[in-house]
Each structure stands twice: as C-alpha cells, then as structure tokens.
Structure 1
Amino acid sequence: MIKGVMFDFSGTLFRIESTAQWLRAVVADSGPAVPEEELEACVGRLEEAGAQPGGVPPRRVPPHLEALWRERDLTAERHRAAFTALTREAKLPTADLAEALYDRSRLPEAWRPYPDTEETLRALRGRGIPVAVVSNIGWDLRPVFRDHGVDDLVDAYLLSFEHGMEKPDPRIFRTACDRLGVAPGDALMVGDDRVADVGAAALGCRVHLVDPLPVDRRPSALAEVLHLL
C-alpha cells in the first residue's frame, strides 16, 4: 500500500520554458540589440551545448568540463559553474549573458507546472498521503512552488545541493522516506529519469516514470499516479 509519494521536479511536476523563450527574455531585459537570425542561431548552439538547466541535455560535454558536469548537482557553486561554462561554449553575443541566463533559470516565471500538477498534489493531500520533492539541483526551488501556489502541498524537499548527495544514491530516497514517516516499501517515486529516479527501487520503493514532454503536450500523466494508489 502506498503511504507516501516522492516526486522529481524538472520534467515531472514542472518544466522550464523553451530555450528560445529563455534567451529572448534575458536579451529583452539586458538590452543588447541582437539580430533575429543571430538569436535563432544562439538558440541552436545553447541546445547543442545543453546550457539550460532543466532543458535539453548536452549532446557532448567538452573534456575540460566533464568532472565539473558530473558533480554539478552536489553544490550550488558547481551547478552555476557548470551551466555558465556550457553557456559560454555556445558563443553568445555578449559574455555577461551567461550569468544572466543562469539567473533567469532560477526564477519562478521561467517554470510552468504541468496541467495536472496541482490537482494531483491536492488529491494526495486530500487522501492524507504526504509528498516529498526529491531533485538533483543546485538551487532552492521552493520559491517556484510558492509562486505557483502549491508549496503548501509539499511536506518535504530533498535537494541534492543541500545534502551533498544525489539520485540515484539510495541515501537521498531513504532520507525522503524518513522525512515522510513511511517505510521505503510503502513509498512511490515519480520521475522522468530512468537512471536517477529508478534508484529508489534499490530501497524497495515503487517507481513510476513519466515523459518530460513540453507542458502543452502532457496534460494528464501525473493523474495516473492516483490510480496506482
């Protein structure tokens, strides 16, 4: 019987804006005049580099960044350093855009909840089932939940950079279960990563995977969680 549910953040409960929206928002705020053709080319280079947190993963991590990339989610400093370095690999019009883009990725307005995120969390709360968010991340995502009105539906946040451990390490899932007051065998992990999130299975947790599609292409995947209960 499922007595507690753990959710991943990016690609599961929320999804970041498109790379084009991300870049255009920063360029509009910072003010450099960038021709449309160059903007479109920059979007392609950013996606190839995998420079957007929560966005398209890198097609190839440059050798000199491999060690930093592997450890990016363990501290806030490494996370910023890894993603701003990848952004600079994309050869943007001005160097200061790298830091501005990273800052943009941490803002609540850069993230959208999936259509069924709130209703699923509210249904779990209504059934008395506690919820934890377990995320490999380098910054505090709580403001995203607060800004979108669902923070009161989450009982615990287990963020890799705050604990110095990351999924699929079973320790982070065990800590989440302890916070929820449930045994691993009575917990469900919902995520989108077949490596990181499936790590919960090593503890005996049940795992349910969703597809990290754009928000407008995935209207009801989370609602399936309720049927698993």
Structure 2
Amino acid sequence: MDFLRGAEEAAYRELTAPDAWVPYPDTEPVLRALHQRGLRVAIVSDFAWDLRTHLAHHGLDALIDTCVISYEQGREKPDPQLFLKACADLGADPRATLMVGDNPVRDGGAAACARTSFRRNTAPVSAA
C-alpha cells in the first residue's frame, strides 16, 4: 500500500507541476492586450492546486489581477459566489462584466451573473 500511495503522490506532483501545464497559444497575447488597455482580469478556477504558481511559471501572473480558486473559497463551480468574489476583488459590477468560460455547466453560475458571457471552445494543449 505504501508503494501505491507513493506512486499516487508522484503522479499528482507530476500532473500539477507548472511545466506540465501549457497555456493556449493565444493566452499571453490576449491577456497582454487587455492589460495594456487597462482592463482588469480575474481567473476563477476549479483546479485542485494553486494556479498562481503555474501563471508565474509562464510569465502570466503580472497580467492577472486576481485569482479566485474554488478550494480556497470552500465552494465549487457553478456556485455564482466564486464569480461574485472575483468581481468584488476587481471592484467590478458583475452586471457590467464579461465572463469567458469553456464549460456551460461549470461556468453557468457566473454566466447568470455577468452582463455578457462567452464560451470558448478549448482542446487540451500538450507540452512540447
């Protein structure tokens, strides 16, 4: 059993390592353009680990104003409170906020609060 536990922990470390996570190719240019225009950006994540480490590893952390991570809030998507927390962190009115998501079910709570929502079709990006 110790072997299995060790293998499970090693697999989790490998899965959650910053270099195992690859942003979509358009992530940095889009975030940079938003940042240069003075638009504030929040990420609401259901990841089971701290996404901020990954953002920093890929040089994206300076382009994100706040991260709301579900496990830190004791909530899971589609709970709209996660989106509302992100808006509060940004000082933004949710009804004047664009929400971009990739899953209509998981992002449904936020989409119901936002003025506009946009669904981005995504496919996994593999590490090169």
TM-score, scaled relative to structure 1: 0.51
Letter aligned with residue 106 of structure 2: A
Identical pairs, percent: 47
1:142 matched residue in structure 2? 52
Contact conserved, 1:197 with 1:207, CA < 8 A, in 2? no
* 1:202 matches 2:112: yes
- Match of residue 130 from structure 1: 40
The aligned amino acid for 1:122 is R
Residue 170 of structure 1 pairs with residue 80 of structure 2: yes
The structural deviation recorded for 1:167 is 1.4
Contact persistence 1:185–1:204 (CA under 8 A): yes
Distance 2:115 2:74 in 1: 22
In structure 2, list runs of 5 or more residues that go unmatched.
none
One-letter amino acid matched to 1:158? V
| CA distances 1:49-70 after superposition (whole Å, capped 9, x unpaired) | xxxxxxxxxxxxxxxxxxxxxx
Q: Which stretches in structure 1 are left out of the alignment for 5+ residues?
A: 1-93, 217-229
After superposition, residues 93-112 of structure 1 pair within 5 angstroms as 95=4, 96-112=6-22
Deviation sequence 1:64-91 (CA, Å, 0-9, x none):
xxxxxxxxxxxxxxxxxxxxxxxxxxxx
CA distance in 2, matches of 1:208, 1:126: 21
TM-score (norm 2): 0.89
Relative to structure 2, which stretch is displaced further, 202-211 or 108-117? 202-211
- Report the Cα offset of residue 138 of structure 1: 2.0
- Residue 213 of structure 1 aligns with an amino acid whose one-letter code is A
Match of 1:87 in 2: none
Is contact 1:198-1:207 (8 Å) kept? no
Offset of 1:208 from its aligned partner? 0.9
User: Per-residue deviation at 1:139?
Assistant: 1.4
Show the counterpart of 2:26.
116
Alpha-carbon distance in structure 1 between the residues aligned to 2:101 and 2:73: 19
Deviations 1:92-115 (A, max 9, x none): xx6232211111111111011111
4+ aligned runs moved over 4 Å, structure 1: none
Amino acid at match of 1:214: P
Counting matched residue pairs gives: 124
Query: In the alignment, which of 61, 83, 102 is matched to residue 151 of structure 1?
Result: 61
CA–CA distance in structure 2, aligned partners of residues 195 and 182 of structure 1: 23
Q: What's the secondary structure of 1:215's corresponding residue? A: coil
Per-residue Cα deviation, 1:130-185 (whole angstroms, up to 9, x for no partner): 00010112211111010101100000010001110121111111111111111111
Q: CA deviation at 1:191?
A: 1.5
Which structure's relative contact order is higher, taking Cα pairs within 8 Å and 6+ residues apart? 1
Q: State the superposition RMSD in angstroms.
A: 1.7
Instruction: Give the Cα separation in 2 of the matches to 1:195 and 1:123.
Output: 28
1:50-129 correspondence to structure 2 within 5 Å: 95=4, 96-129=6-39
* Cα distance between partner residues in 1 of 2:48 and 2:117: 24
